[in-house]
Amino acid sequence: MNHTIEFTNSATYKCLGDMQEGSLELCLTYCGWESCNPAHRFGPNQRASSVLHVIQKGKGTLEINKKVYQLKAGDAFFLPPGVEAWYEADWEEPWCYMWVGFIGINAEEYVSSAGFSLKNPVRKINCVEKVWTYISQMLEAHQLTYANELRRNAFLRLVLAELIGDYQQTARGANTVHHYSGALYAQHAMEYITYHYNERLKINELADYIGVNRSYLASSFKKTFGCSPQEFLVNLRMEKAKVLLKKQDISISAVANAVGYTDQLAFSKVFKQHFGMSPSTYKDEKNCLVVKTKKEEHKNF
């Protein structure tokens, strides 16, 4: 039996529905856009998919989980599968919204990462135009080709990525949920420091690059490696400096610059704190070979 996919295209309503495409991880089921008439109402009913609506303009009302929400442009709301809800456009300023429905074993995790749940189904977002663009591109890719199927699911992932990124920016500094282990963030930080130790590196910028706040990175790093990111960075720089200082054709200022210090005096101070001698003393120190003719009793080799 053939499966029918429906595409409706009018001046006030566009919808691509009854799709069952994608992977087990995430599967697009439908998407659409509507500029509603005053008091246009949908529901109450239950949905088989997770559905996210984003309001582009106007106002409306949502009732879900025995709570009523007054919504406006810039708001987004989530309708979980199997939960009854209804929503209605305002009489004076009816809303225009877009939506995307999806299923999959990771659907719940993606929704949660974007800041939505049954308990908190509504939030303000700052990425309306980007989401609008991606859903519009989904609708443009309505012809039944394998290439378009890939495009639609790629745009679905971009929609979710925008919403997740937007939520992370909103929650930055708060008790953000981290979906990877602290050890994984610490490992990522350690590898970044190892490859960039010779650059002007700030730990708060490193934390921002990885996607966590500085205090979380510091605690995870110390738990994993037994020292702070700053201590690891300094230790690595000093060990690299020791190797370079033994080369006769490189100056101390060049060594300092090579391990990330623009100030030679600052480098010399840190080096002396670490090794109990200045870089110049270490550089001039000569290795000597002691030759013995008798095996010492405590040696076993």
Dump pLDDT digits (tens) for 82-127.
999 999 999 999 999 999 999 988 888 889 888 899 999 999 999 9
Whole-angstrom distance, CA of residue 255 vs CA of residue 104: 54
162 and 201 co-located in one domain: no
Do 239 and 258 contact (CB within 8 A), yes or no?
no
Identity of the residue numbered 293: T
147 is a domain residue: yes
Q: Please give the pLDDT value at position 1.
A: 43
176 is a domain residue: no
191 is a domain residue: yes
Whole-angstrom distance, CA of residue 298 vs CA of residue 301: 9
For residue 45, what is the domain's CATH number? Answer: 2.60.120.280
B/e letters for 36-71, b = 16+ CB within 10 Å, e = fewer, are beeebeeeeeebebbbbbbbbebbbbbebeeeeeeb
Tokens 């990124």, located at residue: 165
Does 173 have pLDDT greater than 50? no
152 and 232 co-located in one domain: no
36 and 162 co-located in one domain: yes
205 and 167 co-located in one domain: no
Whole-angstrom distance, CA of residue 233 vs CA of residue 94: 56
37 and 132 co-located in one domain: yes
258 is a domain residue: yes
Tokens 């101070």, located at residue: 269
- For the residues 190-197, what does the mean pLDDT come to? 90
Do 95 and 58 contact (CB within 8 A), yes or no?
yes
Sorted by sequence, the CB contacts under 8 Å of residue 277 that are 6+ apart come out as: 285
Q: Which two tokens stand for residue 222?
A: 């110390």
Query: For residue 78, what pLDDT band results from cuts at 50, 70 and 90?
Result: very high
Do 106 and 68 contact (CB within 8 A), yes or no?
no
8 is a domain residue: no
First to last CA, the chain: 80
DSSP state at residue 133: H
pTM of the predicted protein model:
0.58
31 and 157 co-located in one domain: yes
132 and 190 co-located in one domain: no
Q: Looking at the 3D structure of the chain, how many domains does it have?
A: 2
219 and 138 co-located in one domain: no
Sorted by sequence, the CB contacts under 8 Å of residue 26 that are 6+ apart come out as: 102, 103, 104, 106, 107, 110, 153, 156, 157, 160
299 is a domain residue: no
144 and 213 co-located in one domain: no
- Among the candidates 171, 200, 217, a domain finishes at 171
Q: Please give the pLDDT value at position 255.
A: 93
Q: Which domain holds residue 229?
A: 182-284
Look at 208 and 121; give whichever has higher pLDDT.
121
100 and 144 co-located in one domain: yes
C-alpha count within 13 angstroms, C-beta hemisphere, residue 265: 0
71 and 144 co-located in one domain: yes
51 and 187 co-located in one domain: no
5 is a domain residue: no
Look at 205 and 2; give whichever has higher pLDDT.
205
Does 266 have pLDDT greater than 60? yes
C-alpha count within 13 angstroms, C-beta hemisphere, residue 251: 4
